[in-house]
Amino acid sequence: MESDAPTTSRTLATEAVHAGREDLAGLGLHAVPIDLSTTYPSYDSRQEAARLDEFAATGARPQGAPVYARLDNPTTARFETALARLEGAESAVAFASGMAALSAVLLARASQGLRHVVAVRPLYGCSDHLLTAGLLGTEVTWTDPAGVADAIRPGTGLVMVETPANPTLAEIDIRALAHSCGAVPLLVDSTFATPVLQRPLEHGARIVLHSATKYLGGHGDVLAGVVACDEDFARVLRQLRFATGGVLHPLSGYLLLRGLSTLPVRMRAAAGTAAELSRRLAADPRVAAVHYPKLGGAMVAFEVHGDPHRVIAGVRLITPAVSLGSVDTLIQHPASISHRIVAEGDRRSAGVSEQLLRMSVGLEDVDDLWADLDGALSGRPARSARTAVHAEGPTAGRVPAGRARASSPAAR
């Protein structure tokens, strides 16, 4: 596929639709083929031995027919090619989840004798836990962006941040931070921004991580992670993935590639609605504070004066659920779910208060979302089990007469 890469530079919207698919017309195909093989026939074991030796020595993507699905898969490789192109990276390596991707990065640095990580809170709760607990034999120093340069020491293998951060949406100046990191690679978890809003490598970061489960997939039906980086580091990650087995299923690779093609459109539409909802929330006396990134995006966090659990229990259209980045709107209480695993004191000092709610805005109409939020903020009673069964029954999905209407300008 590399040889089919375009020679002229294309915009992100065009790359989102075409990257990773350049060879299809030559194959006589329009849709991307899904290769579900776990193994591949070869009558030449000497040649296979040479290819395996080459992979063990270099970690380069094997050329020719694949050998075994834990080593390489053509459908997943298409997604990797496309994501690398969108991030402006030499390479990308996909994993079974965002946490598998982060684990591979940490193990890759630790295997090079660099076990110390400098990190800035907040991070997604499980990323925080992985570092704090030292589950992979790493050691972490938590600091703020201004303290990163001082926290770096011999043996530091990585500086890690999220921007905008989960769940407070705090933002970090990537270029300034990259400068403070010196020779130590800066990893930016860019899950909330996606390459549509931010391309960290252009600002000096060396590694970009996505929970592809979120916006890249975009429909709440794929669990995946991906790392965009230079080819040297990608080779180490591929070797680690082969040895530890955290590979992405090819069907997920297919769904992610399909998700990428609508990513710019989804992000723009959801971000317009999120910006409008953040304005309405900020003007509402029931809301104590609203956090919406300067960068934009489709995530809104807000702190309520009243009981945040009542808001969660009171939504009807919005789904009360962890995760984010889907076409439908989700809301959750970080102190109870996404960041529950972080010690209470660490959570609070990172700005994750008990009053904080995190909303992932989808593609619904802005006024419908606002009507639902308004009802939930007013303390609408929790949905009963009976109502839930009814809503999921055969009548679900019908729009009562007079309800359907054109989108308001804010939602476009």
Catalytic: which of 109, 214, 235, 241? 214
Closest CB to ligand PLP among residues 76, 191? 191
Closest CB to ligand PLP among residues 338, 370? 338
Q: What angle do CA 193, 198, 201 make, to 5 degrees?
A: 125
Smallest separation (angstroms) from ligand PLP to the CB of 224: 6
Query: In one letter, which amino acid is 193?
Result: A
**Residues engaged in binding ligand PLP (CB under 6 A):** 97-99, 124, 127, 162, 166, 189, 191, 211, 213, 223, 225
Pairing label, strands 156-162, 186-189: parallel
The residue sitting closest to ligand PLP, measured at its beta carbon, is 98
Examine the residue annotation and report whether 189 is marked as an active-site residue of this protein. yes
Torsion of CA 110, 223, 58, 199, to 10 degrees: -80
Catalytic: which of 35, 40, 70, 230? 70
Closest CB to ligand PLP among residues 98, 320? 98
Query: What contacts 294, CB < 8 A, 6 or more positions away?
Result: 171
Smallest separation (angstroms) from ligand PLP to the CB of 326: 12
Counts of helices then strands in the chain (DSSP H, E):
15, 12
Torsion of CA 335, 340, 343, 348, to 10 degrees: -10
Catalytic: which of 51, 61, 78, 124? 124
Query: In one letter, which amino acid is 246?
Result: G
CB 228 within 8 A of CB 187: no
DSSP assignment letter at 4: G
Distance (Å) of CA 388 to CA 313, 384, 392: 12, 6, 6
Smallest separation (angstroms) from ligand PLP to the CB of 370: 25
Catalytic: which of 128, 189, 235, 372? 189
Smallest separation (angstroms) from ligand PLP to the CB of 358: 10
Closest CB to ligand PLP among residues 127, 278? 127
Smallest separation (angstroms) from ligand PLP to the CB of 33: 25
Closest CB to ligand PLP among residues 167, 185? 167
Catalytic residue list: 70, 124, 189, 214
